[in-house]
Structure 1
Amino acid sequence: MCRSIKTLRPPMAPEVTEDDIHAAALQYVRKVSGFRAPAAHNQEAFDRAVLAVTDATRELLADLVVRGAS
């Protein structure tokens, strides 16, 4: 679906920054919404979605257990 979103879990990405997580969330919301940059009347909903996906991604990465990872 979103080929430009890189894998953020170890060992694929040993160091994941907040910028990496936010960029992935932004790409996801852009793809799902069909908007690269939403119109002013959709900006608030777009920003809330990016924040929600960022938070969910951060939580997912924190909770994942990757076998064989140190």
Structure 2
Amino acid sequence: MCRSIKTLRPPYTETVTEEDVRAAALQFVRKISGFRAPAAHNAEAFDRAVEAITRASEELLGALEVRGSR
């Protein structure tokens, strides 16, 4: 997997910004697509994937329960 994607949940990271989540989503899409920057004809699909993964990641992080955090 992408070594540059950091864990975004406590206790590994206390505060996570929208930019952190989007950066991780972008790295993921780059990895699975094989494109650092897509060609113009693939840009819309690439951007949609980044947004979808960002939303899914935010949903996941919001739903996780970390033991001992209460």
TM-score where L is the length of structure 2: 0.98
Gaps of 5+ in 2: none
Give the match's secondary structure for 1:13. coil
Q: Which amino acid aligns with 1:35?
A: F
- Report the Cα distance in structure 2 between the residues aligned to 1:32 and 1:13, rounded to whole angstroms: 24
- Report the Cα distance in structure 1 between the residues aligned to 2:11 and 2:63, rounded to whole angstroms: 15
Task: Give the superposition deviation at 1:38.
Answer: 0.1
Task: Provide the residue aligned with 2:67 in structure 1.
Answer: 67
Q: Counterparts in 2 of 1:1-70, with a 5 A limit?
A: 1-70=1-70
Task: Give the superposition deviation at 1:15.
Answer: 0.1
Gaps of 5+ in 1: none
- Report the Cα distance in structure 2 between the residues aligned to 1:3 and 1:31, rounded to whole angstroms: 10
Shift >6 Å, 4+ stretches: none
Task: Give the superposition deviation at 1:69.
Answer: 1.7
Aligned residues: 70
Identity among equivalent positions (%) equals 71
